[in-house]
Amino acid sequence: MKSFVKKWLGGTEPAEERSLPRVEAGQRVYGIGDIHGRVDLLQELHRMIEADAANHAGAKTLVYLGDYIDRGLWSREVIDELLGSPLDGFHSVHLLGNHEQTLLDFLQHPKIAAGWLSWGGRETLVSYGVDLPLNFPRGKLATVRDEFESRLPAEHLEFYQNLQLMHVAGDYLFVHAGIRPGIAVQEQSNADLLWIRDDFTESQVRHDFVVVHGHTISEEVAFYPNRIGIDTGAYATGVLTCLVLEGEEQRLLQTGGGE
């Protein structure tokens, strides 16, 4: 287990005038990065979180940042794990990722969303028992969609359809990809919340909240004054990251890495 404190760095204000972001007193918030079909890592991280929270008597919130599916081999099992409410005493918030949105798009318009299969969708379909040859005619996409629809449990479809776009905890805003700098939170487009990269990650603009996000992979957790990126490429690296927030404290829980 990796658990350590990160100090709040950066900014142009004098250090004595710089306020630290915080969550409400009595709250402990756990934010989990992109899982991408690695149910093994999710289960390991859940055990770590449960142990970490054993000494906390106040409110406990789990915020999952989306991209539960694709790339890894166990997308269906990840959703089963999340639906199983594995941690007692926690309030769970599940955010929508661009991969879940594309799954929903595929169900509605398989030909338009066919690209999904080449960046992780194939693995998700296989996890649901859909037989998908390596080479198949584009004209058969509707058939693939129909088989997937028939194998998709109703509770899984409901889960995908009811994912949230954002969550606020104190001075922190949790979203999947990020926000458009200079645009008020309530005016952000769904496309930016799910897909934005460089325009957000390369910006030094201070937002109304410190944005906790996934979507953009970094070898180490990206701590900046305006954002914290916690997608550490779990499906490939074996490192699934959880950001723990309590008061002004920021620390990490991470699976060990390696395959």
Taking only the tens place, the pLDDT of each residue in 38-51 is 999 999 999 999 99
Task: Give kind and range of the element (H or E) at residue 253.
Answer: strand 249-254
Sign for the CA dihedral angle at 6, 8, 9, 10 comes to positive
In a domain, 13, yes or no: no
**Residue from 85, 79, 87, 93 nearest 52 by CA:** 87
**Residue from 194, 236, 198 nearest 214 by CA:** 194
28 DSSP assignment: E
Mean pLDDT within 216-243:
97
pLDDT at 68 over 80: yes
One-letter amino acid for residue 213 of the chain: H
In a domain, 3, yes or no: no
In a domain, 187, yes or no: no
**Residue from 163, 120, 117, 158 nearest 140 by CA:** 117
Domain containing residue 250: 22-169+236-254
Q: What is the pTM of this model?
A: 0.92
Cα–Cα distances in angstroms (integers) from residue 125 to residues 23, 43, 78, 181, 210, in the given order: 39, 21, 13, 36, 35
Q: What pLDDT, on a 0 to 100 scale, did the predictor assign at position 258?
A: 56
Q: What pLDDT, on a 0 to 100 scale, did the predictor assign at position 1?
A: 40
pLDDT at 5 over 60: no
Average per-residue pLDDT for the chain: 91
In a domain, 210, yes or no: no
Q: What pLDDT, on a 0 to 100 scale, did the predictor assign at position 15?
A: 36
Token readout for 259 is 């395959």
Task: Determine the Cα–Cα distance for residues 159 and 79; give it in Å rounded to an integer.
Answer: 8
Q: What is the pLDDT of residues 74-130, one digit of tens each?
A: 999 999 999 997 798 999 999 999 999 999 999 999 988 889 998 999 999 999 999
Least confident piece of the model among 137-151, 167-181, 190-204 = 137-151
Q: How many domains does the chain have?
A: 1
**Contact criterion met (CB below 8 Å) for 60 and 91:** yes
In a domain, 186, yes or no: no
Residue 149, judged by CB atoms within 10 A of its CB (0-12, 13-18, 19+), counts as: middle
**Contact criterion met (CB below 8 Å) for 244 and 251:** yes
In a domain, 217, yes or no: no
* Helix/strand number for the chain, H first, E second: 9, 10
In a domain, 162, yes or no: yes
Q: What is the pLDDT of residues 145-162, one digit of tens each?
A: 999 999 999 999 999 999
In a domain, 221, yes or no: no
Task: Determine the Cα–Cα distance for residues 258 and 255; give it in Å rounded to an integer.
Answer: 9
Cα–Cα distances in angstroms (integers) from residue 10 to residues 1, 4, 14, 126, in the given order: 27, 19, 10, 45
239 or 2, which is more confident: 239
